[in-house]
Amino acid sequence: MFLETVAHEGATFFHLAPLAVFVPLLGVLLNAFFGRRWGERGVAIVAVGASGFAFVIAVLQALSLMAHPEGAVVPIAEWITIGDLRVAWAQKIDTLSVTMMLVVSGVGTLIHIYAVSYMHYDVRYKGDPGRYARFFVYFNLFIAMMMILVTGDSYLTLFVGWEGVGLCSFLLIGFWYEMDILGRPSTANARAAMKAFVVNRVGDAGFLLAMFLTFWFFGSLQFDEVFPRVHEVAAEHPWVLLAISLLLLLGVTGKSAQIPLFVWLPDAMAGPTPVSALIHAATMVTAGVYLITRSHEIYAAAPMAQEIAAMVGGLTALVAASMAVSQYDIKKVLAYSTISQLGFMVAAVGMGAFVAGMFHLVTHAFFKALLFLGSGSVIIALERAHHPLPEEGGHGHEHDEHGHHAEHHDEHEPFNPQDMRVMGGLLKRIPVTAWTYIIAALALAGIPPLAGFWSKDEILLEAKHLQPVVYALLSAAAFLTAFYITRQVLMVFFGKPRSEAAAHAVESPRLMTGVLVTLAVLSAVGGFMNAPGVHAFGHWLEHTLGHVPVLEFDPVVAGVSTLIGLVAIFLAWRVYRATFAWTEWSQDPLRRYLRGLYDVLAHAWYWDELYQVVFVRGYRALAGFLAFAVDWTFWHDWFHDVLIAGGYRRLSRFLSQPVDLGIIDGIANGLGNSVRGLALVMRRLQSGYVRNYALAVMLGVVSMLVYVAWALR
Amino acid sequence: MSGILEFVTHPLNAVTFFPLVGVVAILLLAREKETLIRWVALGTSLITFVISLGVLGLFNPQDPGLQLVYDRPWFTVAGWTIRYVMGVDGLSILLLLLTTLLTPIAILSTWTAIQERVKEFMIFFLLLEIGMVGVFLALDLFLFYIFWEFTLVPMYFLIGMWGGPRRMYAAIKFFLYTMAGSILMLLAIVWLGLHYGTFSVPDILAQGPVMGPVQYWLFLAFAAAFAIKVPMWPLHSWLPDAHVEAPTAGSVILAGVLLKMGTYGFLRFNMSLFPDAAKYYAPWVALLAVIGIVYGAIVSFPQRDVKKLVAYSSVSHLGFVMLGLFAFTPQGIEGAILQMINHGISTGALFLIVGMIYERRHTRDLDAFGGLWKVMPVYAVLSLITALSSMGLPGLNGFVGEFNILLGALGSRVLGSYWFAGFAALGVILAAVYMLTMYQKVFLGPLDKEENKCLQDLNWREVVTLLPLIVLMFWIGLYPKPFFALMHPAVEHLLQAVLK
């Protein structure tokens, strides 16, 4: 077999790595310029093809690495060279970057395929079918940017991808920029997009400063030149490593949605569901985890930063999990869940358990992508039941060019297909979606032998040894995780349908369910790649991370975490059992136990509201004060106009009259045609408006020039 | 006669004075032939651009010193021989190209926007180009001063005659403000002339830079003129007025080129003539620069007039340039020179973009728009690229400049503190806030204003106007090597002279 030959005999395909960036970019250009002409089928072929090609390239890299585990640096072009600063466009191919490439392009391609069908419905329900191509332009751009991020051979090239995916995130959150998530005319989605970008910029500023420090103390930004010098620099200036790792951590809290910068991610759910799955769950948001893993030498030399990072991750895991408990929006639950799971990963890589963190990154990509895609399938199922498209026998007149949202203007509350309160009983109506969803949910809850169990267990095991406090935080978070995901599964798939739409929901097309099933298989068995006794994944990463000590499988830790999960599932079932008979949602049963706390959690601890008051309103007030009071009223109007100009006016009225007129007359008489024209123009200006004090000075210059020109000959 | 021939065939004189040909041609044309006048002006500025490319072809990037020098005795007044010295080096070549590129673009943007007194407009515009190119090429202080002042005159009229409702106020303020600083510079120039017996900068430097306590005063006198032009905080008060009132093409040139005359002045004269003073004042200049970066970014945010918003953003961006220059590191200075070009490209494009919508809607009030992407997708995409370039997205031009400036400032021995770069990095965040706010208010959200529903997307002329700038944004962002290659030796040379 060809592939086996490659893996064993050592032909390398490293030089093909740039294609993983360029082919998706080609897809971007093709669909941007011709997409509208090609129609949905053509767009889909190009976009999926480009993403799939990137996956093939990633697989070839992986095969090449089997024979040459040391990897390679693939140079493309020079970029910035000034003094000692030398940064090239180059790709670093090693087991870490290729792991990310495989996840990004593999899961990415699956989500592309899913989106081919999903977006067909979405653009019609939102009332603008012409936007189909644009979606895939952004989607392919995202793959290209993500590839730059994970393969960059220096902090700076990584940063290009880092901000590039941020841009794609901005564009895709604001994909339906003229409406809110219910399709009503609003700036809500656009504001969510901007919030994501700006909050990320805060983190990026930290990233930038970290790079500056790195350059001045390491003399380079290239990974291969920075890391070997860590011990040397750590010995000379210990504070530098702490500063760099904390500034990078600030970047991580932005991109990977950790405390204190996580607030953008729940709002990012405004993007179409495949976006949430690909960007805001499986790949982009894990870039921070990748960044810390990539910088493992630096973090290892700054133990204090490690403690802080692990604590940030642990706290985020717990806090976000608590916020997920009382959400009603199917995607919001998953959003907080993602923040929480990212907390697990950041805690892991923060405390130095890089393999465990990366392992969880991979399994999470499978099951969280599946959860999001499943939720998308549910949403579309409800939409289709609520309003069949004309091609499916719906009423054509409802789908005029304004889309179906237009007809809801006079209703109080438009139908919200994301509200779990109008779901229920979907297990029977959409069984494939339901069962794959349940598999993913159990994987998330950490039930053996599904993927999430193994990776989470590894994190907990490491935490128990490295940072017991974080272990406690994560265990509590694991309990809440199993609880909220069970609550969601029960609300969505069990009990009785609580709306007409739920009662008539239709299973999604095969293109979508096929992807769900594929991801379900991965979520089920993906954990075995690093299960105790196998550790294939750990050995794979060892080529990049150096020797990684493997902790012995601890049945107590595994048992306790499994028990926690099962107890939480049982409790959730006990609490929500009562709702199975409901045909209409009333007060949440959990509220009876939690009372006021329930509302606090439902409002995500009022975290957003706090930021709104302190930062948004605070900044508005400051900016308004500076712009209008200080800069305009005081500096512009009073200081300049009243004090300087007014004073000058009085002075010049006294002085300038005779001088001014004398000069004008002299010039106008003495000079040639063109200059006379100029002077006439000036006179016209002067007679038409207020006295022109600049005139004397200006004419002085003109006459000087004329004199000079004359003197020259 | 042969003297004149010798004069005009020198490439630097040719590129400076070629627009005069267009001026004469337009003077001879009847004012009713407006289209022909436009074509003559455009053609003249395009040929000037081609000549400047010829200068680039003759330019040797490896040579750190002045090139293509044209040095003749000019005239004698009261026993003084004034010399006419022109030359180009790595510090000025890119600014020359920026000027000759932006002029035809700006002229193209007036095609339908300027309908009154087209003849005068084009004459002033070409005269302005002469002044700007002269500023960047003149190496004799006297000659420099003449070009410097000369640029005021056409700009004064461009604002005063084709401007908005408060055009006279803005024009006079622009004029007076600049004059006030220039007078101090003139005094310093006279002092230098008396002291050295020449105004020629190469001759002065051959005798060694100014030493002793007087250089601190001279530095400040030059700085007064340049800081107003940049404009550095808190001397920026003329800028929003000038931009708001100026016609689109005037704003493009004002932001794109005229402001660079200030930063270029610091680079060309303050640093090499008064190196000790420059190093002494560096932290203070950097402090004002950082305040400008943050202040300009904050003050842009709540503006409702798009032009005012972009004007204040210039205060912020030019703060970056000043910070980079006075970091006295190779990265800082090269980043700053590149950022001068970047700002010309991005902000020039922003003003063009504002002009395009103003021509359609006759308002620049942010609240009058919303959801324009829907009706003007091409316009929206080009605007998005420009906005991203302006806020420093990696892969586009602004990032390369800002990154090197901040990197250079953080490690600067002359500045001696990390805090300058630390606070300046706030500007990176705040730039995203005001740029995206503007973008969102204009292009995103529902298309809910009746007047906006039948707006026409860009026509071919408008796309062609923007396209060269968009191409440059990507080029500089992805492969800035050729641009840096032009300035490496000159910057190294300058740093050696200053830091020794």
B406: nearest CA in chain A? A212
Chain A touched by B20 (CB under 8 Å): no
Q: What is the pLDDT averaged over residues B404-430?
A: 95
pLDDT of residue A5: 61
Q: Do the chains contact at A197 and B432, CB–CB below 8 Å? A: yes
Q: What is the pLDDT of residues A535-558, one digit of tens each?
A: 899 999 999 998 877 888 889 999
Within a domain: residue A576?
yes
Confirm if A183 and A126 have CB atoms less than 8 A apart: yes
Least CB-CB distance to B445: which of A178, A211, A711? A178
Chain A touched by B344 (CB under 8 Å): no
Query: Does A327 share its domain with A360?
Result: yes
Q: How far is A215 from chain B (nearest CA, A)?
A: 8
A634: nearest CA in chain B? B237
Among B residues 399-418, those touching chain A with beta carbons less than 8 Å apart: 400, 403-404, 406-407, 410-411, 418
Within a domain: residue A63?
no
Query: Does A517 share its domain with A620?
Result: no
Chain A touched by B320 (CB under 8 Å): no
CA distances from A496 to A501, A591, B178 (A): 12, 21, 77
Residue B154: pLDDT over 50: yes
Q: What is the pLDDT of residues A554-592, one digit of tens each?
A: 899 999 999 999 999 999 999 999 999 999 998 899 998
Query: Does A362 share its domain with A379?
Result: yes
Q: Do the chains contact at A704 and B301, CB–CB below 8 Å? A: no
Domain boundary among A568, A602, A636: A602
Which of B29, B169, B390, B429 to substitute to test the interface with A, most A CBs within 10 Å? B429
pLDDT of residue A398: 44
Chain A touched by B447 (CB under 8 Å): yes
B68 — phi, psi (to 5°)? 55, 35
Write out chain B residues lying below 8 Å of A212, CB-based: 406-407, 410-411, 421
Tell me the pLDDT of chain A averaged across its residues.
88
Query: Does A620 share its domain with A573?
Result: no
Residue A665: pLDDT over 70: no
Distance CA A178, CA A128 (A): 11
pLDDT of residue B10: 93
Confirm if B335 and B401 have CB atoms less than 8 A apart: yes
ipTM entry: 0.94
Query: Does A453 share its domain with A555?
Result: yes
pLDDT of residue B227: 96
pLDDT band at B21 (very low <50, low <70, confident <90, very high): very high
Helix (H) or strand (E) segment spanning residue A17:
none
Residues 6+ apart with CB under 8 A from A111: A274, A277, A278, A282, A369, A373, A515
Distance CA B245, CA B166 (A): 6
Query: Does A372 share its domain with A344?
Result: yes
Domain boundary among A571, A602, A633: A602
Write out chain A residues lying below 8 Å of B421, CB-based: 209, 212
Domain boundary among A602, A629, A646: A602
Query: Does A639 share its domain with A532?
Result: no
Write out chain A residues lying below 8 Å of B120, CB-based: 681
Query: Does A702 share its domain with A556?
Result: no
Within a domain: residue A254?
no
Write out chain A residues lying below 8 Å of B237, CB-based: 631, 635-636, 639-640
* Neighbouring C-alpha atoms within 13 Å toward the C-beta of B494: 31
Chain A touched by B295 (CB under 8 Å): yes
pLDDT of residue A686: 47
Q: Quick one: which of B34, B30, B92, B35 has its CA closest to B67?
A: B92
Least CB-CB distance to A215: which of B301, B400, B407? B407
Least CB-CB distance to B330: which of A82, A685, A712? A82
Least CB-CB distance to B410: which of A178, A212, A648? A212
Domain borders along chain B are 274-500
Query: Does A560 share its domain with A665?
Result: no
Among B residues 58-117, those touching chain A with beta carbons less than 8 Å apart: 74-75, 77
Q: Do the chains contact at A623 and B298, CB–CB below 8 Å? A: yes
Domain encompassing residue A668: 609-711
pLDDT band at A8 (very low <50, low <70, confident <90, very high): low
Count structural domains, chain A: 2
Q: Do the chains contact at A698 and B156, CB–CB below 8 Å? A: yes
Among B residues 254-283, those touching chain A with beta carbons less than 8 Å apart: none
Distance CA A91, CA A13 (A): 13
Within a domain: residue A361?
yes
Q: What is the pLDDT of residues A625-639, one digit of tens each?
A: 999 999 999 998 888
Query: Does A592 share its domain with A491?
Result: yes
Query: Does A569 share its domain with A522?
Result: yes
pLDDT of residue A666: 46
Within a domain: residue A288?
no
pLDDT of residue B296: 96
Size of interface A-B (CB pairs under 8 A): 183
Residues 6+ apart with CB under 8 A from A357: A289, A292, A293, A344, A345, A346, A347, A348, A349, A459
Q: What is the pLDDT of residues A400-444, one digit of tens each?
A: 444 444 444 445 678 899 999 999 999 999 999 999 999 999 999
Q: Do the chains contact at A163 and B394, CB–CB below 8 Å? A: yes
Within a domain: residue A682?
yes
Q: Do the chains contact at B161 and A685, CB–CB below 8 Å? A: yes
A88: nearest CA in chain B? B479
pLDDT band at A395 (very low <50, low <70, confident <90, very high): low
Q: Which residues of A515-534 are buried (b: 16+ CB within 10 A; e: fewer)?
A: bbbbbbebbbebbebbbbee
Least CB-CB distance to B433: which of A178, A198, A697? A198
Q: Do the chains contact at B433 and A619, CB–CB below 8 Å? A: yes
Q: How far is B17 from chain A (nearest CA, A)?
A: 13
Query: Does A595 share its domain with A636?
Result: no
Chain A touched by B185 (CB under 8 Å): no
Percent of chain A having pLDDT more than 70?
87
